Structure 1
Amino acid sequence: MNDTRPRFRPDILLHAHDEAYGGQSIILEDPVSNKFFRISSYEFELLKVLDGTRSLRDAIERLKLSGRYFTLNHAAKLVDKFSKAGLLLGTIYGTSGVQKELKERVETELQKRSILKLYYLYVPLLNPDAFLEKTLFLWRMLVNRVTLTILSCLIPGAFYLLITGFQRFDFEYLFFFNIQNLIVLWIALVLVKLVHEFAHAYVAKSRGLRVPEMGIAFLIFFPCLYCNTTAAWQLSDRRERMLIGLAGILSEFAVAVFAIYIWYFTKPGIVNSVAFYLMAISVISSLFFNGNPLLKFDGYFVLIDWLRMPNLQAKSFAVLRYLFMNRVLGIDSVEAPPSSGREFSILVSYGVSAVLYRFVLYAGILERIYTKFDKTLGVILAATAFFMFIVRPLSKGAMNLFTKKSEMRFRPGGVAVFLIVSISVIALISFPWSDHSVYPCYLESALVRQIVVPAEAPVSEVRVKQGDSVRSGEVIFRLNPLPLKYELKNKQVEHQLVRTEIAIIRDSQQDLYKLDLKYIELSQIEDAIKRIEEDLALIEWKAPFDGAITTLSPVFQPGASPGKGSVVGEMANCTACEVQALLPESDVSAIMKNGTVSAWWPVGTGMSVNLTVREINPFKTENLDGSPFSSRFGGEIATEIKDQIGKDAPLDPYYLCRMDFPNPTGIPLGMTGRLVVKHPPKSIFRRVVDAAYGTFHREVVF
């Protein structure tokens, strides 16, 4: 090392960053590997004098002249670190042979990873830099101290409205996910994401940076927008870099604040639903995706700036590799990345969190790919993802261990810690715990009677209105008997005339062929008289049981003539009730006949009642028009309009579950609630196995 003449790569890009203690650090950007390295200004002084003409000893002597002192051992360690990072030429890592081997290895790795573009594909569409430059004044007009002050004043009110209006979720049209509204919702989502990405771009542009690229990224086949703001590393002030990273999240938060006000002060409908959707999407995407530091999105880059730790993810995985291979297996050739005690703790914590999160993420990726595509294509893509994300990294690690098996010298302390951690993880995934599923339900009467007009007569009196309670035998409405009496008198006269005509024909013995016709006419008149007399006995419609008028036609008023047999309303018994719930076909196994479930109602502070399942049947109704289950009427079952007759049909197959409910507290009929189904205790491992077995059993035949 002392005789070599290393040279600092001239293509490395430099960025000076201010630190909290008043000094500076240097960020080195490798344009080949697209990696960033943070070093101190003191270490950079050594790099600068390594120009390929000096040995390490000569470089140390040169630095002494400028008041910079390095020991030979310290300088050798730094040169070794820089060399391994690929920052120096002329070392054992910078020779043509090693570089050629490294290049071939990188190209091979890139070829193997090219298939990952199926799952992470970025498509640049435009260079927005000129447009951003011309419209930057609009951004400054919209985002300034005045508008930020107004937004700050609106935030407490938005939180208050969100908390006080939370219980409205069960009663309003919050789930407009039918075909008619999906277009509107997708447009709204695109607009929110445009706001997000342009916020990044304008904040970067306002700091004098170039924004060379915007486009569409397909992450697990889901399209989303992206903006290239990597030039932010040129800024020396980390607060400005963090502001660029946070701009998108803050813009979505602002959208959520305004959406809360719109949602709270609008009536149920499409505007109300879109506002709720924007509010939910803005919060969810910011918290779980863009703001998640375990994913390489905004939150990750804000975190590495806050911690002043570039390449946090790569370094954390390197630390975990060191802990396992060096501290457990005793392979001394695997060294820890240079770091302080604080940095080492952060790297370990982040690495463990990232590894656990990746298991969950990759499982979700496999499930999404398998379920969202054609069966055969889904199997192929899921198998490919399983190989690339799980099998390949594990096999690579196993091969690496195999090549270093001769270096293994197990360390008892490390092995003990590893066993304790492993046993704890196994116990965690093997420990059974219970959970529950929640489904929409509503209260319906088990005894329902339609209110039907009993006679062909006009209405003279309606004694109830919709929502009224009635007692058994109470008169609901009366019909005007005068038209019936007038018709009855006419029929009686006709009856007497026909009887007289029959008597004359029989006495005269003339026109005897008419006699049979007269008898038929007489029989018809007698039937009509009997019908009218029956109708006269039914001019009052009385309640058949105690209950309530659940529906009543608004046109059913005195003077109206709806016609005999017309249904003008409905009444239901309020005590003999049943709870109805719709379960998706995929979850029907979670509930069994005669099993115990719990129904929760939003009454007071909440009321929960245990019920017994009476029956479970396939839900064959193809029209949910008017049903509280339909998303078009405030329910949670996604529906779409089918056929020309306008059927409000569910998008997926469902099962109808019924439970008897005596309703002693008088809960209003039609109230929506939640059906809570408890599951027997199962471990995480058992759940995964059951899910995999169920999928295999269901799909074993292609």
Structure 2
Amino acid sequence: MAQNDKLFHESWHRIANQRIALRSSARIHRLMFRGSPWYVVQDAYSSNFYRLRPAAYRFIARLRLDRTIEEVWNEAMARDPDETPGQGDVIELLAQLYHANLLHYTAPPDTAKLFERRQKQQQRMMASKVKNIMFFRIPLFDPDPLLKKMLPFIHLLISPGAALVWFGVVGMGIKIAIDNFAQLRVQSEGILAPSNLFFLYLGLLAVKALHEFGHACTVRRFGGEVHTVGVMFMVFSPLPYTDASAVWSFPIRWRRILVSGAGIIFELFAAAVALFVWAHTGPGMVHSLAYNIVFIASISTLLLNINPLMRFDGYYILCDLLDIPNLQQQSYQQLTWIMERFGFGCKNVETPAATPKDAAIYTGYGVLSSLYRLVIFSSILLFVADRFLIAGILMAVICIAAWVILPVFKAIGYLATSPKLERTRPRAIGVSAIVAGLVFVFTYFVPFPADFKSPGILKAVDYSIVVNPASGYVREILVESGTRVTKGTQLMRLENPGLPPKLKETKAAIEETQVRYQKAMRELPSDMAPLASRLSSLNKRLERLRKEEHELVIKASFPGVWVCPRAHDFEGVWVQRGTPLGQLINDEKFHFVSVVSQFDVSQLFAEGIRAAEVKLAGNAGATVAVVSYTSIPMEHTTLPSSALGWAGGGTVALDATDPRGLRTAEPFYEVRARVDTTAGVPFLHGRSGKIRFSLSSEPLLPRAWRALRQVIQKRYQL
């Protein structure tokens, strides 16, 4: 549509008398988006696609080598002045098609210009590869002839019958995963162990090959062509990739969605089959490989492929579901429009959004995808640097140059030379300077509240694990679990059938020795010393046996609550000396034992803690005040409770070799905080929760810089 500000253009005279037409190799596809027709121009040689509005396509379709551009434009204006593109739109449209090598023109070829254009294309491609250094691609061969030969198999593979098989197998896999979830989670702790890296990469290679095979087969199933298969170095790991861009020419939306989701569909099928193999094999190579395939097919699907915030399968599925092609590009254009229109005051800029709903979608997606990409790429950088420090540093330098330094220079050039800012350049420069200054002041000088949280458990100040001092059968439970008892209360009664005979035998031996000792005093004084020694030994033995008999009755050593949920399971069972039978808990005073990471402990020791509070699991709305706390200045590697580790549902990483689930992967520091027991929440010994330490206020930038230095020092000892 011809807009007033683009109806006429000062550069029109440069192209008005040119005779231009689309190249004969260009293919045109008519697609429907949101009920409106669009036209997709396909370059048959490069497999690039360009989307045109109907008005723009009608103008391009009228171009002939025997007519000038101005003649075609004047004729179009005479027919439909409302829908014909303005001169400015025509210049932009022809420039895009020219740089894509889709135009044929009668002017003498300028070899230097052709080479210059090719060189610029290569420079743009190289710049794009540098920005995407973590996903560098190398094309290898054309798989289309092979796919043509496989068409009968592909039609069988992608059919309603195959879909029924897929649902059955994946449903079975889901059931196996639910039944074995605990074992799957425990095994995941060793996924990055050195002994497992080979199986992990082998599984990754197999899953990704199947993923790309799924895309290629689905494209060919619906009549598309696949001309490129290659290797993508994802974080320096070579993996297969397929160019399935032919899907953009499919007029039926559900087919485009199916092609985009084909890789995920094939991966989930592989994960289900691998789950079945994993569940029915013992430890060994097949078992490990099957588990790694399950891990890769599920994690990569959830974090990358199905996630629409990255330009993988989920992104293209979302584009087709919303019927919005090039969602990311239009989102960035929308954010640019907001900046230019409301920040810089430009009146001659157009929003890509046709409706307020589109504007909200573009804006939200642009912000969320940018933040998510930042998090993902930062995590990848740390992952690479953990294993290949030099490579990680090089990647960080390249990423900083591509994502920070280069955009800054581009922004400066944009502010200085952009034609859009011709009338509002002073305002644009002023607004940019003010925003940059405010961001710096806001992050460097304005203090913000600071705090950190640590997991922990509630422990009674006075508690003990009740064990039996003597071995025996548990004959009687004298007090039920949960009963409040006083000191000396009998809790359990044990019986040792072998103890009474030993007592009787010892007493008889003492009586006999006493008689012999009396006889030796009268007849043979030289035998008195050995008999006295034997008598002393027998008396000690009797004393020990009587003590053991006395200890068969388990008593409370201090007042509190007797806790023994499995008390009746012990009845009639022989328990060896020292067996934990239950706990005796004094529920009047509690402290919260927290696990503080090495990252946070420096703040705990170096900075003043203004306040601390505890929130217990199950009572997140209630806050428990901390009366006082004590930091223990020594490293620990054993958790106070298995509930804090991954195996017990906690957040602390564990050493995979510890079957108890208590030894941590990294050392930690312990902080014990006395809590106010009048908070009105149930205080139960062993209950988990989190403690929040409030620190002194600090600006964001110094805090972020310190956190970055701590990460580098912790990970790389630099």
TM-score normalised by length of structure 2: 0.70
Q: Tell me the secondary structure at the aligned position of residue 473 of structure 1.
A: coil
Q: Do the aligned partners of 1:630 and 1:637 also contact (CA within 8 Å) in 2?
A: yes
Deviating more after overlay: 652-661 vs 208-217 = 208-217
Q: Do the aligned partners of 2:481 and 2:564 also contact (CA within 8 Å) in 1?
A: yes
Task: Pick the aligned partner of 1:179 from 162, 174, 189.
Answer: 189
User: One-letter code of the match for 1:588?
Assistant: V
Task: Pick the aligned partner of 2:136 from 108, 121, 145.
Answer: 121
The reply to whether residue 675 of structure 1 matches residue 691 of structure 2 is yes
Distance in 2, Cα, partners of 1:453 & 1:516: 38
Aligned counterpart, 2:90: 78
User: One-letter code of the match for 2:116?
Assistant: E
Aligned counterpart, 1:373: 385
Decide whether aligned partners of structure 1 residues 377 and 211 sit closer, same or farther in structure 2, where only a CA change above 3 A counts: closer
Aligned counterpart, 2:579: 567
List aligned pairs for 1:520-539, cutoff 5 A: 520-539=533-552
Distance in 1, Cα, partners of 2:639 & 2:628: 23
Task: Pick the aligned partner of 1:297 from 297, 312, 317.
Answer: 312
Task: Pick the aligned partner of 1:580 from 576, 593, 611.
Answer: 593
CA RMSD in angstroms, aligned pairs only: 5.7
List aligned pairs for 1:271-290, cutoff 5 A: 285=303, 290=306
Decide whether aligned partners of structure 1 residues 227 and 623 sit closer, same or farther in structure 2, where only a CA change above 3 A counts: farther
Looking at both structures, which has the greater relative contact order when contacts are Cα pairs under 8 Å and sequence separation is at least 6? Answer: 1
Deviation at 1:573, TM superposition (A): 0.9
Distance in 2, Cα, partners of 1:616 & 1:252: 49
The reply to whether residue 691 of structure 1 matches residue 707 of structure 2 is yes
Q: Tell me the secondary structure at the aligned position of residue 562 of structure 2.
A: strand
Distance in 2, Cα, partners of 1:146 & 1:360: 36
Q: Do the aligned partners of 2:55 and 2:83 also contact (CA within 8 Å) in 1?
A: no
The reply to whether residue 236 of structure 1 matches residue 251 of structure 2 is yes
Decide whether aligned partners of structure 1 residues 424 and 482 sit closer, same or farther in structure 2, where only a CA change above 3 A counts: closer
Deviation at 1:515, TM superposition (A): 4.8
Decide whether aligned partners of structure 1 residues 623 and 331 sit closer, same or farther in structure 2, where only a CA change above 3 A counts: closer
Q: Tell me the secondary structure at the aligned position of residue 650 of structure 1.
A: strand
Decide whether aligned partners of structure 1 residues 478 and 686 sit closer, same or farther in structure 2, where only a CA change above 3 A counts: same
Deviation at 1:142, TM superposition (A): 5.9
Aligned counterpart, 2:8: none
Distance in 1, Cα, partners of 2:202 & 2:519: 85
Q: Do the aligned partners of 2:654 and 2:661 also contact (CA within 8 Å) in 1?
A: no
The reply to whether residue 629 of structure 1 matches residue 644 of structure 2 is yes
Aligned counterpart, 2:4: none
Aligned counterpart, 2:556: 543
Aligned counterpart, 1:390: 404
Q: Do the aligned partners of 2:626 and 2:676 also contact (CA within 8 Å) in 1?
A: no
Percent identity over the alignment? 19
Q: Deviations over 1:367-426 (max 9, x none)?
A: 541355244543333223222322233335546767889x97754555566567667766
TM-score normalised by length of structure 1: 0.71
Distance in 2, Cα, partners of 1:240 & 1:93: 44
Distance in 2, Cα, partners of 1:219 & 1:201: 20
Deviating more after overlay: 472-481 vs 134-143 = 134-143
Q: Tell me the secondary structure at the aligned position of residue 670 of structure 1.
A: coil
The reply to whether residue 517 of structure 1 matches residue 530 of structure 2 is yes
Decide whether aligned partners of structure 1 residues 138 and 279 sit closer, same or farther in structure 2, where only a CA change above 3 A counts: closer
Distance in 1, Cα, partners of 2:107 & 2:324: 27
Unaligned runs of 5+ in 1: 159-170, 257-272
Q: Deviations over 1:476-510 (max 9, x none)?
A: 12244885554344333323433444454554458
Q: Tell me the secondary structure at the aligned position of residue 256 of structure 2.
A: helix
Deviation at 1:366, TM superposition (A): 3.7
Decide whether aligned partners of structure 1 residues 475 and 494 sit closer, same or farther in structure 2, where only a CA change above 3 A counts: same
Task: Pick the aligned partner of 1:140 from 156, 159, 172.
Answer: 159
Distance in 1, Cα, partners of 2:717 & 2:497: 72
Decide whether aligned partners of structure 1 residues 425 and 355 sit closer, same or farther in structure 2, where only a CA change above 3 A counts: farther
Aligned length, in residue pairs: 655
Q: Deviations over 1:267-303 (max 9, x none)?
A: xxxxxx99x99999699648xx74435x323454456
Distance in 1, Cα, partners of 2:572 & 2:353: 88
Q: Do the aligned partners of 2:510 and 2:539 also contact (CA within 8 Å) in 1?
A: yes
Distance in 2, Cα, partners of 1:323 & 1:523: 99
Distance in 2, Cα, partners of 1:319 & 1:603: 44
Deviation at 1:348, TM superposition (A): 11
Distance in 1, Cα, partners of 2:474 & 2:623: 44
Deviation at 1:454, TM superposition (A): 3.4
Decide whether aligned partners of structure 1 residues 78 and 239 sit closer, same or farther in structure 2, where only a CA change above 3 A counts: farther
Decide whether aligned partners of structure 1 residues 524 and 74 sit closer, same or farther in structure 2, where only a CA change above 3 A counts: closer
Q: Do the aligned partners of 2:470 and 2:548 also contact (CA within 8 Å) in 1?
A: yes
Decide whether aligned partners of structure 1 residues 429 and 283 sit closer, same or farther in structure 2, where only a CA change above 3 A counts: farther
Deviation at 1:119, TM superposition (A): 0.7
Aligned counterpart, 2:509: 494
List aligned pairs for 1:603-642, cutoff 5 A: 603=618, 607-612=622-627, 614-617=629-632, 622=637, 627-642=642-657
Q: Do the aligned partners of 1:60 and 1:69 also contact (CA within 8 Å) in 2?
A: no
Q: Tell me the secondary structure at the aligned position of residue 118 of structure 2.
A: helix
Decide whether aligned partners of structure 1 residues 626 and 394 sit closer, same or farther in structure 2, where only a CA change above 3 A counts: closer
List aligned pairs for 1:263-274, cutoff 5 A: none
Q: Tell me the secondary structure at the aligned position of residue 544 of structure 2.
A: helix
